[in-house]
Every structure is written in structure tokens, then in C-alpha cells.
Amino acid sequence: MKISHSPAESDNKSLALTVGDQAKVYAARIRLQNAVDQADALDAIREIAGNLIGTEEVAVFKVDKKRSELWLYWSFGIDPNKHSLLEVRREPRLKQVLSGKPVFRVRLSTENLLCTDDPVNALIPVLVDGSPCAVIVLFRLFPHKAGIEPVDKEICGVLSNCASRAVEPCHSR
Amino acid sequence: MAKKVLLVDDSTTTLMMEEMILKQRTNYECVTAKDGLDAISRAVVEAPDLVLMDVVMPRMNGFEACKRMRTESSLSKTPIILVTTRGEEEYVEAGFQSGCNDYITKPINGFELVTLLRSYLGE
């Protein structure tokens, strides 16, 4: 179906977009907060990535005690053998993520966030008591999705603050 | 009387989001099902005015559920919109062959969803 964008519809469009964005952020938060255990929390991350952001390639890396490397803890839709370990000294962007700030590949950018053949679109710190103890990595987006949008960044913020159950106990290396 | 929409998805996140969008932007009544088999039985009982259904689900996928709904006399003309993660031509074609009326791709855009449903159900 072709969606029209006449000026008369502009108010409706922005309102519907706002409601749609709010609904996504709300659904992500409630889903994570209601996760019954670790497996369910990891499933919630997969659901949110696939249904709300637009990627079926996602991984969770845990941070080691020395904060020098990240090791693959869980993944969906990627080859785990290609991404078993990330060394912080080799990946300058990881330092920013480990300071608690997410990093995004900007719209239509060809820039790679990590030294990997697979394009990475977001690196999201998972905060426990305000400190990052894991990183959620979003790889390729769906082909029809142009890039990470403002609402996606808000959803990533929810992942950052509400996904701690998925990675407990915090340090296990 | 409010139009009734059957939302079908195995993801509670998606159901929550769709329901919130429709409740805030329309006066449609929402009922939900969590897979294709559940959707068929719910649809027979609830007689929805439209079905919005995911494709990839456990027990029975959206294509199969769509085909079976078309064999039910009470559902043969009910608009069915499939929600897909893929917009590729062959995937969309498979959806239409299963008997769906339209499709929308994930991640769902609130404006597109409301506009599409209104085109079938009106305000």
C-alpha cells in the first residue's frame, strides 16, 4: 500500500510517529523489567532487537574483571566463532562504551565500529549499579532499514539501563 | 460498535507495542493470539474485522495460518495483514499467495500501521 504524505496529514503523522515511538520505548522497558529469569531477559534482548530496532544479529559480551577484554556470552544470528573475544586495546570505541556511553554507526555510514567483517551498528553498555559489566552489540540491520534512528537510540538507552538481569552475575572471569 | 482487530505475534513486546499504538490512535478493540494455531481459534470465536499477524511464529507460522483462515467461511473475506521482517519480493509474493491482503515490515512504524489499518477499517 502506498502511504500518502499530504500537508493535511502532517499533524497526524507526527502524532502517530510520536505515539509509535513511545510505544516502542515503553514495550522495551516493560518487557525487560518483567523478565522472569536470565534466559527470559536474553530472549527479551533478542525480541527488542528484532521487533523494535530491526536486527536479527545480536550478541552480548561480558567484560572481564580487568576491563581489558570482552568475551562472547550469548549471541543470536551471528557466527559465534568469529566473535569470541574483543580486546579493548585494539578497539578504541570500546573504551567509550566501557565509560558507560553507547556508540552508534551514524546513518548510512560505512564506518566500522569494530575490527570485524560484519558491520556493527550499535555498541550498548549494560549498566549494573551504574557501571558497565557487559556490552550488547547490534550487527547488521534489516536490508529495508536505513540506519539507527533517534527512537532506536532511546530503546538502546532502555537496554543499557534495564538489561542487567541478562548478564548476572556481573563478572565471571 | 468498535471495529475489532486480532493481533497475532509470539513476541509479547510486539503485542504490547501494537496494542498501545492502536489504543492511543484509534478506537479499535484489540484481541491477541500468540501463534498461528491460537490465532485461528481466536479468530473463529472473536470474528475480528481485521487480522494483523506475524509470519515467523512457533507451532504454526503466519503463512499457514493465513491459508487456513481463508478456508473458514467466517474468515474468508476478513482482511489479513502480515507483519514481516523481510520486504523482499519473493517473500511478499509468498504472503499474497497465502491469501493475505497486505503486509507491513518490522520494525513497525506507528504512522504506517495506523494509516494501513484505517484504509481497511476506516476511522
**What is residue A161's three-state secondary structure?**
helix
pLDDT at residue A8 greater than cutoff 70: no
pLDDT of residue A34: 95
A21 interfaces chain B, CB cutoff of 8 Å: yes
Q: What are the residues whose beta carbons fall under 8 Å from the beta carbon of A2, sequence distance 6 or more? A: none
Nearest residue on chain B to A33, alpha-carbon basis: B13
Is B56 in CB contact (< 8 Å) with chain A?
A: no
What pLDDT digit, counting tens, does each position of A13-23 carry? 666 568 889 99
Convert the pLDDT of each residue in B86-105 to its tens digit: 766 777 888 899 999 999 99
B106 → closest Cβ in A17, A23, A51: A51
Residue of A nearest to B13 (CA): A27
Average of pLDDT values for A126-136? 93
Selection from A35, A45, A50, A98 nearest residue A74 by Cα: A45
Q: What is the pLDDT of residues A47-72, one digit of tens each?
A: 999 999 999 999 999 998 888 889 99
pLDDT above 90 covers what percent of chain B?
Answer: 88
Of A97-101, A147-151, A165-169, B50-54, which one has max mean pLDDT?
Answer: B50-54
Mean pLDDT in residue range A113-137: 88
Report the distance separating Cα A70 and Cα A7, nearest Å. 49
Binary contact (A27, B108; C-beta < 8 A):
no
| Model confidence at A90: pLDDT above 90 | no
Cβ distance of A31 and B105 shorter than 8 Å: no
Which site among A3, A21, A24, A145 would you substitute to test the B interface, given the most B Cβ atoms closer than 10 Å to its Cβ?
Answer: A24
Rounded to two decimals, the ipTM of the complex is 0.90
Q: How many CB pairs under 8 A join A and B?
A: 96
* Whether B20 and A27 lie within 8 Å, measured CB to CB: yes
Instruction: Enumerate the β-bridge partners of residue A123.
Output: A103, A137
By CA distance, what is B14's nearest residue in A? A51
pLDDT in tens, B20-64: 999 999 999 999 999 999 999 999 999 999 999 999 999 999 999
Q: Rounded distance, CA A35 to CA A39, Å?
A: 8
Residue A2: pLDDT band (50, 70, 90) is very low
What is the average per-residue pLDDT within A137-159? 93
* Residues 58-117 (B) with a CB less than 8 A from some CB of A: 85-88, 102, 105-116
Closest by Cα among B75, B46, B63 to B100: B63
Neighbours of A152 (CB within 10 A): 24
Inter-chain CB proximity A3 and B116 less than 8 Å: yes
User: Given CB atoms, is A10 within the 8 Å cutoff of chain B?
Assistant: no
Q: List CB contacts (< 8 A) between A13 and chain B.
A: 111
